[in-house]
Amino acid sequence: MRPELRRRSAQALALLAACWAQAASAHVQQAEAAGLLTGLLHPVSGFDHVLAMVAVGLWGAQLGMPAIWVLPVAFPLVMAMGGMLGFLGVPIPGIEVGIAASAVVLGAAVAFELRPPLVVAALVVGCFAIFHGHAHGTELPPGQSALLYSLGFVIATGSLHALGIGIGTVHSRPGGRQLLRAAGAAISAGCAFFMWRALA
Amino acid sequence: MRSRTLTLLALLGLALACGPAEAHLNATGMGPVYDGLMHFLTSPEDLVPALALALLAGLRGAPYGRRAMFTLPAAWLLGSLAGLMAATASAGPLAAAFWFVLLGGLVVADAKLSLRSMTLLGALLGLVHGYLNGSGMGLSAAAVVAALGLAAAVFVLVVLVAALVVPLRAQWARITVRVGGSWIAASGLLMIGWSVRGV
């Protein structure tokens, strides 16, 4: 396909998206808009969530292909299963501890440049994803669209992974490897505080 | 000079002879087209599965994209028309969740479907969702026109999305599409949970 045609297709899609102008629903009483917004904001509502999501992306970038995309794919899928457990009222003990631990462990993995087999890395990420999903799943505000809430927090989670991957690509630059390890150490140390607070 | 004068006079004559603008859709009867179009664009239960199929078709290549761009809207239109004549049906969120998981999963896996399988998938998706859309509208002339608008919106979406994905050759670009599929599948799993919970 010629680049010009691709560019025009992209422009047409952007125009179509612009025409998909819904009511701004600036007032949070509008349930539909609030469901999407709530979902988008939920993963960023807690610093421990944010750091853990970014750490997944950092670790994936550090491990390189195929982990760089396998980990960000595995996480939302397993997170969704955790969310289902949350909806169904299946209790999982120590959710907050698990969430904090995820950032500690993943940050440490980046800091120490741990390179387990892909399956092991995916399992580690998947185990922690259960905790995150369970936390999201139990917190749908009443009256809001479950579908839009789900789309919102999946998109936000994936975007945080992408942010981590983007930051993680510094490891291929001079000095970037050390910088990445320092970032992992900072995440791990920072979330050790959250874990201490959860355990206290 | 003379031709320009004649042109200006002709334009003046047209400007003076203008008819009613018919800006309000109820005068043109075209309102339901936009109703159908906007229903599709503002219903994630319908939009996201169609988007996923377009992504899948795009990943498989141009022949698949061409097949999907006609199969899906045509099936959707047929399904809508069939639904218009049926009693109100509601599959709840489970039908959409099924398509989210199935199509999202196929996109993640970059499944090497045959053209026949892709055609069948598009036809089934269009028929099911079209039927659900149509059964919620009730039989009327406006509803038939709305079904046309809905099918047109499906067509445009598939064309644009598949056209953007087909030429992607860079590995990172195709992986990005597959990651998008994982988001769709994950949302579908969550919808199943919501359905069981009764939300």
Q: Across the interface, do B163 and A9 touch by the CB < 8 Å criterion?
A: yes
Let me know if residue B83 belongs to a domain: yes
Average pLDDT, chain A: 82
Model confidence over A140-171: pLDDT tens digits? 666 777 788 888 889 999 999 999 998 988 87
Q: Is the dihedral of CA A73, A143, B34, B146 positive or negative?
A: positive
Let me know if residue B21 belongs to a domain: no
Name, in order, each residue with C-beta under 8 angstroms of A185's C-beta and a sequence gap of 6 or more. A107, A108, A110, A111
Of B96, B166, B182, the CB nearest to A73: B182
Whether A27 has a pLDDT exceeding 50, the answer reads: no
Please check whether residue A123 touches B, CB under 8 A: no
pLDDT (0 to 100) of residue A23: 44
Best probe of the B interface among A6, A9, A11, A139, by most B CBs < 10 A, is A9
Model confidence over B58-71: pLDDT tens digits? 999 999 999 999 99
d(CA A130, CA A82): 4
pLDDT (0 to 100) of residue B178: 93
The number of folded domains in chain B is 1
d(CA A40, CA A36): 6
| Chain A neighbors of B161, CB-CB under 8 A | 13
Residue A115 burial (CB count, 10 A):
14
* Chain B residue nearest residue A22, CA to CA: B42
Please check whether residue B144 touches A, CB under 8 A: no
d(CA A145, CA A164): 29
* Chain A residue nearest residue B163, CA to CA: A9
Of A10, A86, A155, the CB nearest to B164: A10
State which residues form the domain around B74.
Answer: 31-197
Whether the full predicted model's pTM is greater than 0.95, yes or no, is no
Let me know if residue B95 belongs to a domain: yes
Let me know if residue B9 belongs to a domain: no
Let me know if residue B20 belongs to a domain: no
Let me know if residue B170 belongs to a domain: yes
Please check whether residue B185 touches A, CB under 8 A: yes
Distances (CA, A) of A41 to A50, A160, A190: 11, 12, 21
Of A6, A69, A147, the CB nearest to B191: A147
Q: In the predicted model, what is the mean pLDDT of residues B90-118?
A: 89
Model confidence over A123-141: pLDDT tens digits? 999 999 999 988 887 776 6
Let me know if residue B183 belongs to a domain: yes
**Predicted ipTM?**
0.76
